[in-house]
Structures are given as structure tokens and as C-alpha cells.
Structure 1
Amino acid sequence: MSYKSIAVNLAVDADPSPMVKAATELAKHFGARLIGLAAADVPPLVPTGDGMVFDGEIMQIQREQIEERLHELRAEFEKLVPSTVASEWGQAVCSPTRFLTVSARAADLIVVGGDKADNVYRDVDIGSLALGAGRPVLVAATNGQHVRGGTVLVAWKDTREARRAVADALPFLARANEVVVATMDTDPDGSIHNSLADVAAFLELHGVKARTELLVGEGDGGRLLAFAHSIHADLIVSGAYGHSRLREWAFGGLTRRLLEESGINRIMSY
């Protein structure tokens, strides 16, 4: 199994270079086509303090500014991606989250930046994307230009989402130097031991040697992230849990903790 098509989102208000370089490195490694994507939307008519609303002229100016920025991002993307990597480009004046969700149909993997999303018209809601795209989402570490995945931590819980994440991440797991499957010791009947053993056996059939760890502590994500740092993990694989947004993870509040953990690359599947 490998990724044959990788989509990368370029945020309109961020320097595109780190994301393009990271995604290009992945495309080279997996022999994948690279799809550059960018989108932003014009805010709807809203009342101002004196009761006025944005008129059509102002909205048209905003649209033109967005289109100009999208053209700039395309030029940067085409300049940074070498001719040895097959690539294409897509852009739209619409919700960036919706655009990426729809564009996911053409990709095996979606790569996005991990910067905090404050503006739904210009930033991707990573939670909604992970829950709606039907593809694994790789959230790149802040300012990271490499996604090495030398040491990979699989945050395991015996759920559909976690199983999906392990399968989706197999290309990364297969190339890792070390894979650790860890879960919190919250199962009173001890069945979690069998669960971990089954995951390790599954990975071994795919040529991935993994060790397992049963962690003791609070299930809010802090213990798992502390363990990730202790083994110098540079990639965390986890299932995504939630509804309209990523509000809950297998380890309680791990959603928020993972999205805040900008120093480690993360793969999310739902």
C-alpha cells in the first residue's frame, strides 16, 4: 500500500513554502502526484456598529483580493514543486474547509498546517475536515518542512476510527524506524492486552514490527503526549472522534491536546 495522490492545503494568510516543501518531500518518497489547493471566502453581509452592511462593491473588492492571493499561491506552488514531481493545482473562492472536503475525493492523503484556525472564511477547520473528508488528514508540525515519521506512536483504542487510522497510516508505519502502539489502561477486564496484541500481529503481517505499551494515568491526553515526547515520536496516528467538530478522542480530551501539540506531526482518520 502507498499514497499515490497527496493533496496539500496552502492557507491564504501563511507562508506556503514550508507546506509545499513538506508535501513535495512526501510525494517524492511515495511516488505520488501532488495536488496544491487553496481557498478563501468572502464574508456574508453583516451589520456594522452603525447599522450599515457591507455593500456589493466592498464584497467585490474582497473577492478580487482573494483571487489575487490565490494566483500568488499558485505561482509559489508551481515554482517550489520540481518538474520531477507530477503536480496539479486547484483553487476556489469558497469555504476552505468545504473545498478541501470535496477535493479529498482525488487524494489518498490530505496535508494541512496545524496553525490555529480563527477565521472560518480563510482557515481550514481541521476537525470538520477530518470528520468529513473520508481520507486521512496529516496535520503538519508548525514550521516543519519534513514529515519523517522515524518514530511513530499509534494512539490505540479498539474502535472503528482507530482501526481505520492504523490502516490509513500503513505507508508511514512501513517506513518508520520504530512503531509503538500505546493505549491507556482503562479496561477493568484486561481485554485491552488482547487488543494491543492483535494490532501488533496485524502490523507484522504488513511487514511492520511494533511494540506495545499500556499507559497508566489520566485519560485526558496529557499522559499520552508525555509518552510521545519521551520516545521522541515525530508522528502520532489516531482515530478521530466527534460530531460536527473534533470534540472528543479515545483518550478523553485528546482532541484539543493533539491539535494544540504543534511540535509533532499527526495523522487523523475517521
Structure 2
Amino acid sequence: MSYRSIIVNLGIDADPEPMIKIGVDLAERFGARLIGLAAADVPPLVATGDGMIYEGEVMQIQHEEIEKQLGERRAAFEKLVPVSVRGEWRQAVGGPTRFLTGSARAADLIVTAGGQASNVYRAVDIGSLALDAGRPILVVAGNADHVSAQTVLVAWKDTREARRAMADALPLLSMASEVVVATIDNDADVGISKSLADVLAFLELHGVKARTELIAGNGDGGQLLAFARSIRADLVVSGAYGHSRLREWAFGGVTRTLLEDNAINRFLSY
């Protein structure tokens, strides 16, 4: 298994160069096609305190500004992607989360910057993306321009989401120098030991040498991140646990903590 097609999402309000470099590095490592993508939308008509509505000329100006910014990101992508990498560009004046989710069908892996989306018209909602795209998401740490994935922490829980995440992350795990499979639990019963043994056997069959760790606790995401830092992990692999409620994504503690912490690279799958 490998990643043969990778999407790198470029935020319209961020410097595109670090993300492009990360995308190029991953594409070269896996011999993959690299799809550069960017999108932003014009906010809907808004009534002011005086009852006036922004429309017409104002919206056209905003549309043209977005197209200009998209063009700048395309130029940066085409400049920085070497001829040795098969590159492709996609852009849209439209909702960034919806556009990226729709484009996910063309890729094995989506790479995007972290941080909370303060403006859904100009930034991707990573929570919705993770649960809707049907593809694994590599959420890059803030200020990173490289994802080495040499020491990887796999957050294990015997669930569909964790199994999916581990399988989706195999190409990265196979290149890591150290893989630690950790589970958080207060009761180290036979069932937990058996599931960890099965995970190690599965990884070994795929050429991945790993060790296991049992973290005493109640499933708190902070404990997981503290352990990740203690082993100097540069990537955390985790299932994305959540559900739709009133058209908003509600997440469990570990997933929510991982989404909020932008100091480490996170690999999420649902």
C-alpha cells in the first residue's frame, strides 16, 4: 500500500510555501501525484445596522480579490513543485470545506494546516473534513515545513475508527524509525492485552516493528499528548471520534484535544 495521490490544501490567508514544501516532500517519498488546492468564498449578503445590505459591486470586488489570491497560490505551487513530481492544480470560489471534501475522491491522503477555522468562508473546518471526506487527513503542526514521521505514536482503541486510522497510516508507519502503539485504560485486562498483541502482529506482517504502551487514565487527550511529547513523537495517528448533531460535529475528548493542539502533526481517519 502507498499513497499514489496526495492533496495539499493551501489556506488563502496563509503563506503557501511551507505547505507546498511539505506536499512536495511527501509526493517525492511516495512517488505520488501532488494536487494543490485552494478555495475561499464570498460571504452571503449581510444587513448592516442601518438596514443596508452589501451587494452588487462590493461582492464583485470580494470575488475578484479571492480570484487574485487563488492565482497567487497557483503561481507559488507551479513554481515550487519540481518537474520530477506530477503536479495538478485545483481552485474554486466557493466553500473551502465543501470543495476539499468533494476533491477528496481524487486522493489517498489530504494534507492541510491545523488551527481552528475562524472564518468558514476562508478556511477549512478540519472536524467536518475528517468526518466527511472519506480519506485520511494529515493535519500539519503550526509553523512546520516538514513532516518527518520518524517517531510515530498510534493512539489505539479497539474501534472501527482506530483500525481504519492504523491501516490508512501504514505507508507512513513503514517509513518510521520508531512506532509506539499506546492505549489509555485503567484496567489492563486480558482483552486489552490481546488487542494490542493482534495490532503488533498485524503491523509486523506489513513490515512495521512496533512496541506497545499502556497509559493509566480515563481516556483524556491531554494524557495522550503528554506521552507523545515524552517519547518525542513527531506524529500522532488516531481515529476521529464524533457524530453529527444539529449539523455541527461533536467530538470525544481525545479527538477534540488533538484538533485543538497545533504543536504536533496529527493523522486522523474516520
**TM-score relative to the length of structure 1:** 0.96
Percent identity between matched residues is 70
Q: Check the 8 A contact 1:240/1:246 in 2, yes or no.
A: no
Instruction: Indicate whether 1:247 and 2:245 are aligned.
Output: no
Aligned equivalents of 1:49 and 1:103: distance in 2? 38
Q: Which moved more, 1:150-159 or 1:186-195?
A: 186-195
Paired residues, number: 267
1:151 aligned partner: 151
Name the amino acid aligned to 2:195: S
**2: CA distance, partners of 1:26 / 1:105:** 19
Say whether the 8 Å CA contact 1:95–1:122 is kept in structure 2: yes
Q: What residue ranges of structure 2 are gaps of 5+ in the alignment?
A: none
Residue matched to 1:9: 9
Q: Aligned-pair RMSD on alpha carbons?
A: 1.2
Map 1:80-91; keep pairs closer than 5 Å: 80-91=80-91
In structure 1, the residue matched to 2:71 is 71
Residue in 1 that maps onto 2:132: 132
Q: Does 1:183 align with 2:186?
A: no
Aligned to 1:50: 50
**Other-structure match for 1:32:** 32
Match of 2:266 in 1: 266
Contact 2:10–2:19 under 8 Å retained in 1? yes
Q: SS state of the match for residue 247, structure 1?
A: strand
Q: Please tell me the residue identity of whatever aligns with 2:39.
A: A
Distance (Å, rounded) in 2 between the aligned partners of 1:29 and 1:50: 56
**Partner Cα separation in structure 1 for residue 148 and residue 155 of structure 2:** 18
Q: Aligned AA for 1:156?
A: W
| Gapped regions of structure 1 (runs ≥ 5) | none
Contact 2:9 2:38 in 1 (8 A): yes
Task: State the match for 2:220 in structure 1.
Answer: 220
Alpha-carbon distance in structure 2 between the residues aligned to 1:190 and 1:221 = 24
The answer to whether residue 145 in structure 2 is matched with residue 142 in structure 1 is no
Native 8 Å contact 1:21 1:80 kept in 2: yes
1:11-68 CA-to-partner distances (Å, cap 9, x unmatched) read: 0000001100011000000000000000000101121111111112111111111011
